[in-house]
Structure 1
Amino acid sequence: MFIRKTRSVAGNGQEEGIAQPSVHRRTFLKYAGMGTAILSAGATLSSCSKDHTDDSGVSLGSGDVSVLNYAYALEQLEAAFYTQVIATPYTDMSPAEATILTDIRNHEIAHREFFKAALGANAIASLEVNFTSIDFTSRTKVLAAAMAFEDLGVSAYNGAGQYISLVKYLEFAGKIVSVEARHAAVIRDLIFAGSFAASTAVDEKGLDKARTPLDVFAIAGRYIKTQINVNTLPH
């Protein structure tokens, strides 16, 4: 599934069919900083509260199962976030933005259901999430959170690929991370046109960032109320 809306470049440098906001680069960097702050707060909170010698909480399994459940947990989180965004649209959400965000929601739900089916009886239960720190009425805060979640998702898949042993699962992960990167790019362009490959996402070598599963869970933990046992995750 891909974003369905076709966009062409109009003579004024804007894309037809997309209401491009008038946002200066300084404002974009504020969004980027806000997104980083959102996830950094989660990292501080979670890293202080999780003891990796504690075996309590939901077990992710071992081997490829643990990595797939890790991805499944993140897709549950993203699907829940975008479901909330569409259920309670922020103030002055344009029809074009609603179309894009609905497509992203549908992609995340599809990813979530893919992992659930692939894991079968080994799948963890549905997680309880907590988005009380996000103001869903604010376009600025919703898009900053979306950018942060998408960047985290891309870095999560990039970092986890090395731990997958079955080729078919690695192939699936590669297909999903490419869609997640499309999400990250279009969210950036909603914030500031042409920022899809900004230095906040892509390094000087032209590469996206990568994070270990433990680092990702330390960040995402702020938004997951269900306690998860991370001890079987590769690191």
Structure 2
Amino acid sequence: MDSTSRLSRRHLLKWTGAAGTLAVAGAMLPNFGISAALAAELGDGDIGVLNYAYALEQLEAAFYTTVLQNPFGEMQVNDQRILTQIRDHEIAHRDFLKGALGRRAIPALEVDFSAVDFGSRRSVLGTAEVFENLGVAAYNGAGQLISNPDYLVAAGSIVSIEARHAAAITDLLRPFSAEAAGRGVVDRKGLDKALLPSQVLPAAAPFITTPVTAATLP
């Protein structure tokens, strides 16, 4: 197994619910080993959930922006078209959430994509697949935490777009495959994965250098 496969598999296991990985990662959640005084606190209630989504959308928007600023050598026309559309969607999601939060928004997060080989199509698309499936699971799990019906409708609209992104990336990675959905994202009841912030944030943490705390979110 090459380094790209190991990277994707490692992070995939984190968000698909491997109990041992999440148990260890969850213990690190409060400040990821950095003083809480320096951390971006998401807050509680609907604001906490919106900031949680905002943090993930910042990560995705930054990733796709970096991908297109440093296109891999074998990037095909269809790759570029789809990745550009996804980038624009993620930027729109990020900016929408920032606007909804106003002064209660967490600051812009610093990211670290040093583990991604941006010169490799497989590495880029494999990481994109993990991010998109993680995002879908995050929104699915956050719905139950939202009180404001307007926010819930917005989250439902965003997650449907994230699911389309995941499907598009899967098709780029494994065209004409027999998969109806990405690997490991649908349970035996035909339902998509749903993960709580305490499961999602540790999986995203290796790519975010700004410490993020979510003490009041489950």
> Is the shorter-chain TM-score for this pair beyond 0.5, marking a shared fold?
yes
Distance 2:207 2:120 in 1: 18
Q: Within 5 Å, which residues of 2 pair with 1:207-222?
A: 207-222=191-206
Distance 1:81 1:196 in 2: 26
- For 2:11, give the aligned amino acid: I
Say which is worse superposed, 191-200 or 138-147, in terms of deviation: 191-200
Of residues 127, 138, 148, the one that matches 2:120 is 138
Distance 1:89 1:196 in 2: 28
**Paired residue secondary structure (1:71):** helix
Of residues 123, 128, 132, the one that matches 2:110 is 128
2:41–2:214 CA contact under 8 A, matched in 1: yes
Fraction of identical pairs, as percent: 49
Aligned residue in 2 for 1:17: none
- For 1:228, give the aligned amino acid: V
Q: Within 5 Å, which residues of 2 pair with 1:1-235?
A: 35-40=8-13, 46-47=25-26, 49-51=28-30, 55-56=36-37, 57-193=39-175, 194=177, 195-233=179-217, 235=218
2:29–2:201 CA contact under 8 A, matched in 1: no
Aligned residue in 1 for 2:18: none
1:184–1:196 CA contact under 8 A, matched in 2: no
Cα displacement (A) at 1:71: 0.1
Distance 1:199 1:58 in 2: 33
So what's the TM-score if we normalise by structure 2? 0.86
Compare CA radii of gyration and give the structure with the larger one. Answer: 1
Distance 2:100 2:180 in 1: 31
- For 2:84, give the aligned amino acid: T
Aligned residue in 2 for 1:8: none
Over 3 Å counting, the alpha-carbon distance change for 1:33 and 1:130 in structure 2 is closer
Cα displacement (A) at 1:207: 1.3
**Paired residue secondary structure (1:136):** coil
Over 3 Å counting, the alpha-carbon distance change for 1:37 and 1:232 in structure 2 is same
Consecutive unaligned residues of structure 2, counting only runs of 5 or more, are: 16-20
More helix by share: 2
1:46–1:221 CA contact under 8 A, matched in 2: no
Distance 1:50 1:216 in 2: 10
Deviation readout 1:163-197 (Å, 9 max, x if unpaired)? 00000000000000000000000100011124351
Q: How many equivalent residue pairs?
A: 206
- For 1:114, give the aligned amino acid: F
**Paired residue secondary structure (1:152):** helix
Distance 2:212 2:182 in 1: 33
Distance 2:6 2:159 in 1: 23
Over 3 Å counting, the alpha-carbon distance change for 1:199 and 1:142 in structure 2 is closer
Distance 1:132 1:101 in 2: 19
**Paired residue secondary structure (2:64):** helix
Consecutive unaligned residues of structure 1, counting only runs of 5 or more, are: 1-26
